[in-house]
Chains A and B, each alone.
Chain A
Amino acid sequence: MGQFLQQVLNSISIGSIYALIALGYTMVYGIIRLINFAHASVYMLGAYIGYFAMTYFGLGFFPAILIAMVLCTIIGVLIEKIAYKPLRNATRIAVLITAIGVSMLIEYGMMFFVKANVRSYPPMTGFLTKTFTLGSMTITTQQILILVVTIVLMVILQFVVRTTRIGKAMRAVSQDRDAAELMGIDVNSTISFTFAIGSALAGAAGVLVGVYYNSINPLMGMLPGLKAFVAAVFGGIGLIPGAVLGGYFIGAVEVFVAGYGNSMYRDAVVFAILILVLIIKPAGLLGKSTREKV
């Protein structure tokens, strides 16, 4: 039982990271029907920004994660303005290919600047090093931190989307862009805002991973990015609660396959789930199947 609870705890930590990244995928998809593959690169940049803030400026965890979120917001908006906006009326496949291109540009560009080797965050101090023992379970403050930061960010996100004017605009644009525009909603700034929020969450996830796993490299976004994408699809792409649910589900699948089965099948199972979801329920767990309007 103790082992089971410990595995649940492990899956919550990794699931929180997937959920944070998946939110960015799902929000952007909801609003412009684009799978923004550059999103995983923004997550990687967030990890590096946190690394530089902590290592070279000696900042603590909270200032570092705030800086990473702010800078990632700017980067996300810039990517949208430079790479996607000119293609607003192009075919979806053109935008998708651009997204892959942007992702590679950032990852390999970063490799050029910071070299390909693994870097590690500076040793944590103070409350971030503590460990609690609860029966046979061991909980680190870093795990608690990941969960708390994730929940706080999700509550803020839910608040923004549900109650603010811009949140209302986002929901309107995601339902019908043309109609929203006719109602006087500034579609372009709404899209920018969506990228901004998604990128901020990815930046936060990057710093959390850096602190928790202590190992970052320019290609660190690839696999988590794909898994977060699976999470978004599993929950129903375009739906915010779906991304959160999907993130925790994929985290749990990974941990339990490794913990009770064979760790070699971990990634295979995750991607098998993607295929099964796409075959059985393409709209995702929470999605309603709607007919494509021609």
Chain B
Amino acid sequence: MKKLLSVFLVLVLMAAALVGCSKAPSQPAASGADAEEIKIGINYELSGGVAAYGQANLEGIELAVEQINAAGGVDGKMIKLVTYDNKSDHAEATTLANRMMTQDGVLAAIGPATSGAFKATIPVAEKNEVPVVSGSATADDVTVDDKGLKEYAFRICFNDSYQGTAMADFAMNTLGAKNAVIIMDSSSDYGKGLAKNFKEQFERNGGKVVAEESYVEKDTEFNAILTKIKGEDFDVIFIPGYYEEAGLIIKQARAQGIDTPILGADGFDSPDLLELAGADALNDVYFSNHYSSLDQDPVVLKFIEDFKAKYGKDPNAFHALGYDAMKFVADAVGRAANLDGPSVKDALASTENFVGVTGSFSIDENHNPVKSIVVIGLKDGVQDSITRSGE
């Protein structure tokens, strides 16, 4: 009896699989073209390791959609989100991209948040001719690599080498630094890329990198290298890495009496930095970011106000990037000649002077935004000053 039952179940499963197969190809024809609403795919890390990024992006996106639809949608058509959780997994992100493009018939897709997962969805986008936009994939080779431009991939954030360059300029021009020390996270491409670009730009400006030290993810003991660099003559420390280790480096450096300015990049942007380093240590610490809540720009103020009204909390950079990504896509859809992938792609590529919360930008030939960077200064652990640079 049991055996019969299992055979029966296997048959049912097979039948279901067959039905699934036969059904799939019949759907994609129903693309956005003549539909009443515009479907936008959302492929974000809503659970797993970097869930904080994905969730924040989505909150920003939802706020943007709410506003766009309340204002009458895009050419009278409402935006509808098709939201999926890729569980912070690259393979899952690819599968979901496939699903939303072939089955759900989305006109464009937003996400994932991290460079690796976003890159994994690009081949699917190229194949299905559906543009994909990321708000926060900062790796250099996301939209263009050795093989050339990835036609259907766009991002609205600056890339890592730009951050390294901008921080080198900041160190020299704003802080007047001549000699720098780099303490780099050698276990991530992010850290290595930032360090390389910082060094190149700093030396091009006539500065000198007097010492380069490195560490790996999860290290906690930095006293030895800090004691070593203490003997050098320098006036700024650059830490290309994430907040987890950077927080400890800052704490230990300040405890050793090293009080030179410390610079970093958007990897510093986490409330945990304050927890790890302690408020006393976070003075004269500067990091580049996409957005600051201190910005007095009317666009930013309006965004902060709307965001607080909807969610009851302050938005961070990922909220702002998600919000901008959605508005950026909606703007292009409004300008597109037809409601299909290739037209929207062309509209995205020809975006000029888009006014966003994370700065105004135009899209360059490599599908990267040309935008300014915000350098945030910390005082006693809280954001105290902002400097915009590199328009």
Contact = CB atoms under 8 A, between A and B. Distances in A.
B278 interface: yes
A214 B231 contact: no
Given A123-B279, A263-B213, A213 B227 contact: no
Interface stretch (A71-79, A162-170, A191-199, A251-259): A251-259
A95 interface: no
B186 interface: yes
Contact of A259 (B227, B248, B278): B227
Interface residues of B, number: 28
Interface stretch (B32-40, B109-117, B250-258): B250-258
Interface of A: 3, 6-7, 10-11, 13-14, 117-120, 123, 129, 131, 133, 138, 140, 209, 213-215, 217, 219-220, 223, 254-256, 258-260, 263-264, 266
A254 B221 contact: yes
Contacts of A6: 227, 230, 256
The 6 closest A-B pairs by CB, nearest first: A258-B224, A10-B223, A255-B224, A259-B224, A120-B275, A213-B220
B314 interface: no
Contacts of A219: 218
Contacts of A259: 224-225, 227-228
Contacts of B251: 214
B276 A214 contact: yes
Contacts of A140: 255
Nearest to B275: A120
Given A10-B223, A129-B280, A214-B276, 7 more contacts: A118-B276, A120-B247, A120-B275, A123-B278, A215-B248, A219-B218, A259-B224
Contacts of B272: 117-118, 120
A23 B283 CA distance: 40
B227 A7 contact: yes
Contacts of B351: none
13 contacts: A3-B228, A3-B230, A10-B227, A14-B221, A118-B244, A119-B275, A120-B247, A120-B272, A138-B256, A213-B220, A214-B248, A219-B218, A263-B215
Interface string B301-317: 00000000000000000
A14 B218 CA distance: 16
Contact of A214 (B186, B278, B279): B278
B219 to A, nearest CB: 9
Contact of B255 (A138, A217, A254, A255): A138
B98 interface: no
Contact of A215 (B215, B220, B279): B220
A172 B312 CA distance: 66
A133 B257 contact: yes
A80 to B, nearest CB: 29
The interface centre, meaning the residue of B227, B248, B272 with most chain A CB atoms within 10 A of its CB, is: B227
Nearest to A256: B224
B227 A263 contact: no
Nearest to A209: B220
A263 B214 contact: yes
